[in-house]
Structure 1
Amino acid sequence: MSIEKYDLVVLGSGPAGFSAAMRAIDFNKSVCIIEASHLGGAGIMNGALTSKAMWELSRDFSIASSVMRGYRASGLNVDYNKVQQTILQAAKQKQLQMLSQIETYSQPSVTCGNITLKYGWGKFIDSHTVEVISNDKIEQVKGDNFIIATGSRPRPMPDVEIDNERIIDSEGIMGLKEFPERMIIIGSGIIGCEYATIFSNYSQTEVHLLDRQHKVIPYEDDDLSSFVGRNLESNGVIIHHTANLRTIRKRPDFLEVVLDYQDGHSTVLEVDVAIVAIGRIPNLDNIGLENVGINTTNRGYLDINEVCATDNFQSCNIFAAGDVSGHAQLYSVAELQGRYIVEALYGNSEYPLDYSNMATLMFFKPEVAAVGLNEKACQKRGIPYKVATYSNSLVNRAIAMRATDGFVKIIVSDDGKDTILGMRAAGPQASTLITSIAYQITQHGTLKDIRQNVHPHPSISEGIQECLRVFEGKSIYKPKAFPDLIKLETWKPEEV
């Protein structure tokens, strides 16, 4: 059996693996990508792209069906199968773009590297050999260096069997044939709240959301959690706070869901579909880690160092990127790590990996974005801070858009340096607003560094400008006149 040899072998074609492979082309390297399922991984199919495409379509439908803007659309209806087709078209478009680039660089060249795509399950035989198992053959490939970028999958729930028909996880949503009449979503984190938003936007489904805590998105500050929860409820979602799932009983025509509440009472619900959305776990099973002496952490992830190398002296040529690395499970983190590994291997890394400016986007109604520290994190670390909040209802562009539900919240250090620590934004264009503050966090920016920036008018970003002016008492609209819309607070460890 002939064995192919490559400079770099990548397990997984998601954002980490694909970005690493494409960066290796720039260094004139030969690359083999091994993919066990869909090209692009969960970043494309059954994950980021498909769920966001579904959110965009649901938002458009929600706006079109609104009667609060002076017009009313007639004859508005929605077909779930056609929605699915549109979502699949979006995923296929991106997959074909990826495949087109792979084919473009599939032939050896003296001016750039080349890429080979192999479909199958990759398993380490030793630190320089991977076995690729597909339906029709088994082959081996060798590599000088390897990147484990196998991504993650939905976390299973004890005693709840995913049947992909009535009890599903996020990977089973595209398998639904129609809008369920009644649904319960188990889990009130980002994934759960996003799907609660999507299905409630269509107004075709009675949506229940199980929240084990007192507030959804419990790791965020109470003001943001309350904002998200309040808007979910106004969108028609029924939130069951402080509830635990006891059991799901399958009846011929429905699911019987038993919830136990913190105060001791129980509730029985009838639903048609249950979605389990309690997080994700890394895909590290059966890839031969034991053959190269790599162990997982107590949380089930790979332990990597500052250059994403696995913490193992036997296999110092094996790296890890993306969801398997134990860092935030974000597309941007995966892509950054994948590129960084290749640059560390074949080039000169100009800067160390920095996760402090990795923004999180939450596709709710309205959208929410977060970057850096929140108040809970600052208090946990004992960091004195000042926090200003400025409502979108004072921002001219938001008023013109008739989309004033939202705010900008910025946190700076209260140590005389006024270092930008974090930001939370809710409302239209929140995903774009977060970028400017993310950059300031990377550059260790301060109020002094950014207060002279002038934002265009009318723009949503003027909310950032005014929020920053609040710290210095220079905002055009004053907290005294609008105490519910503009706030400035401070916190110091000794005040606790």
Structure 2
Amino acid sequence: MAVYDYDVVVIGSGPAGEGAAINAAKQGRRVAIVEEQDTVGGNCTHKGTIPSKALRHSVKQIIEFNTNPMFRDIGEPRWFSFPKVLKRAEKVISNQVMLRTNFYARNRVDVFFGRAQFSQQGEVVVEGDKTGREVLRSKNFVIATGSSPWCPPDIDFDHPRIYNSDTVLKLSHTPRTLVIYGAGVIGCEYASIFSGLGVKVDLIDTRDRLLSFLDDEISDALSYHLRNNAVKIRHNEDYESVIGDDHGVTMTMKSGKKLRADAFLWCNGRSGNTKGLGLDKIGLEANSRGQLQVDEHYRTEAEGVYAVGDVIGWPSLASAALDQGRSASADMLSEDDFRYINDVPTGIYTIPEISSIGKTEEELTAECVPYEAGQAFFKDTARAQISGEPVGMLKILFHRETLQILGIHCFGDQASEIIHIGQAIMSQEGEANTLKYFVNTTFNYPTMAEAYRVAAISGLNRISNL
């Protein structure tokens, strides 16, 4: 059994693990990273962020082809199967794997493929299918094992018509009807994807409105456009049973309703991947959701052991996970560029997409903050009219007296790109972080960024009329 010594050992090669490993390697440390799957990239690359967003992009192109009259000279509207669309995602995944494999090679990071388990303080055993048992020793460890769909034991996920958000990527046919249970970010994204392929979708929400952490107006807009695309949203429902047979799946709800569909997709909750890590050997215990508790420097209660990414819970975003990994390794190596990641924009890749940062109107109202809102509707901007993407809006929330920007909410095409302009301004000090920046800045025309100027002027007009 081979034994290796390292300065830092990272468990998991998703965004969080990659950020930690590469940052430590850049500081001249000897680094090893352990990945349970056959190739690097973690669940982000293989099962979550990358495949679902690649799927969404392909579906969006199909929708444009089928609805834009200009394309009728090429041919009539076409139907595309889910497996065919999935092939595009597989190409993106392979490109991402190659890119990340080169990252590790270029930075002299040793990659071990297998299942990692702590055997004692300062030591993990890697059990590889091809390499056997290998021991990695270090004073510093980063647990970045990510998360997986939480699957209740009373539902048979081995049934060929019952899927979760990981296994749905193996779907080999296109169902005519689909029930999605769980209307969180993942559930709403897949509702957009499947409805865009012409699938009749029932979206079951256990709460009273979609994505309640969003600004009410944005949440309402999402509900409208999902319904406009024939998604049936059912709020305040809980399942009683989910039974699959040779021809479909029947879901009975506690309210007494029964739904029948060709397939069933579970998108209700995720658990941290901590099972089998041997945490008891180093004095750690995960909570009921499989997540690890960390302090504001991403340190666990075990000496020299950090945890980052989905395995620690909020915000469970690939963007934040990468930065958390970088920050954890900076703290571990006593570098001066540590920062706690708490200013994270929301990016939701529904059709149309959603992105926001800062406070919502509901939060500001509850806190008795005197605010006002400026809005720009995409249908009124030249760039949106040119691109044929008129759906959406940008909303800026600002303090009525100081004009400080308090929150930015965007719904529509490229929302996750547009938000970063506002994010950059919100991070500035003094008058640079006020509505005046957008009013006094000349934007390229026509652009989507111009919506900031339109919204800012709209907001100023609201307070000048009082």
Q: Fold match, TM over 0.5?
A: yes
- Is residue 236 of structure 1 aligned with residue 230 of structure 2? yes
Per-residue deviation, 1:21: 1.1
In structure 2, the CA distance between the partners of 1:446 and 1:364, relative to structure 1 (3 Å rule), is same
User: Aligned with 1:98: secondary structure?
Assistant: helix
Q: Distance in 1 between matches of 2:313 and 2:82?
A: 36
- The match for 1:163 among 158, 166, 173 is 158
Number of aligned residue pairs: 460
**C-alpha separation in 2, matches of 1:376 and 1:158:** 37
Equivalent position of 1:492 in the other structure: none
Q: How does 1:362-441 map to 2 (within 5 A)?
A: 362-414=348-400, 416-441=401-426
Alignment equivalent of 1:455, drawn from 430, 435, 443: 443
Task: Tell me the residue number matched to 2:134.
Answer: 139
Letter in 2 for 1:271: A
Q: Which amino acid aligns with 2:221?
A: F
- Assess if the C-alpha contact under 8 Å between 1:65 and 1:73 holds in 2: no
Seen in structure 2, the aligned counterparts of structure 1 residues 164 and 58 have a Cα distance that, compared at 3 Å, is farther
Describe the superposition over 1:339-367 as per-residue Cα deviations: whole angstroms up to 9, x where unpaired.
112222335334632412x1121112211
Residue number in structure 1 paired with 2:120: 126
Q: Is the 8 A contact 1:127 1:317 kept in 2?
A: no
Verify the 8 A CA contact 2:374 2:456 in the aligned structure 1.
yes
Do structure 1's residue 305 and structure 2's residue 295 form an aligned pair?
yes
Give the conservation status (yes or no) of the 8 Å contact 2:328–2:338: no
Please give the alpha-carbon distance, in whole angstroms, between the structure 2 residues aligned to 1:247 and 1:79: 29
Q: CA deviation at 1:472?
A: 1.7
Any idea what SS the aligned residue of 1:305 has? Answer: coil
Query: 2:10 corresponds to which residue?
Result: 10
Match of 2:52 in 1: 51
| Structure 1 match to 2:240 | 246
Uncovered stretches (5+) of structure 2, i.e. residues with no partner? none
Extract unaligned runs of 5+ from structure 1.
Answer: 106-113, 481-487, 489-496
Distance 1:46 1:298, change over 3 A: closer
Letter in 1 for 2:20: A
CA distance in structure 2 between the partners assigned to 1:350 and 1:134 by the alignment:
35
Which residue identity lines up with residue 50 of structure 1 in the other structure? P
Selected match of 2:339 from 329, 340, 352: 352
Structure 2 vs 1, CA of residues 383 and 290 (structure 1 numbering), >3 Å: closer, same or farther?
farther
- Work out the percentage of aligned pairs sharing the same amino acid: 26
CA distance in 1, matches of 2:252, 2:222: 25
Q: Does the CA-based 8 Å contact 1:206-1:236 persist in structure 2? A: yes
* 2:173 matched residue in structure 1: 178
Matched, 1:273 2:268: no
The 2-side partners of 1:448 and 1:373 are apart by 19
Q: Look up the equivalent residue of 2:449 and give its one-letter code.
A: S
Instruction: Describe the SS at the equivalent of 2:156.
Output: coil
Following superposition, the deviation at residue 70 of structure 1 comes to: 7.7
Q: Which residues in structure 2 correspond to 1:56-205 (within 5 Å)?
A: 56-67=57-68, 71=72, 73-75=74-76, 76-105=78-107, 114-136=108-130, 137-157=132-152, 159-163=154-158, 165-203=160-198, 205=199
Quote the residue 1:23 is aligned against.
Answer: 23
1:287-334 residue CA offsets vs partner (Å, 9 max, x unmatched): 122111123346542222222111x2xx33111110112220001110
Moved more, 140-149 or 294-303: 294-303
Give 2:43's aligned residue.
Answer: 42
Amino acid at match of 1:78: F
Partners of 1:388 and 1:409 within 8 A in 2: yes
Deviations along 1:130-167, one digit per CA (max 9) or x if unpaired, are 11112251221101211000000012235223126211
Give the TM-score, by structure 1 length: 0.87
Q: List per-residue Cα deviations over 1:258-304 (Å, max 9, x = no partner).
A: 2344xxxx332221110000132211112122111123346542222
Task: Please provide the CA RMSD for this pair.
Answer: 2.3
CA distance in 2, matches of 1:450, 1:200: 37
Q: Secondary structure at the match of 1:52?
A: helix
Equivalent-residue separation in structure 2 for 1:209 and 1:68 (angstroms) = 30
Q: Are 1:256 and 2:241 matched, yes or no?
A: no
Q: What are the superposed Cα offsets for residues 366-396 of structure 1, whole Å, 9 maximum, x if unpaired?
A: 1111112212333454544322222112212
Q: Which amino acid aligns with 1:168?
A: Y
Letter in 1 for 2:264: A
After superposition, the Cα gap between the structure-2 partners of 1:163 and 1:383, relative to the gap in structure 1 and judged at 3 Å, is farther
- Counterpart AA for 1:339: R
Cα deviation, residue 427, structure 1: 1.2
CA contact (8 A) 1:127 1:318 kept: no
Greater shift after overlay, 186-195 or 215-224?
A: 215-224
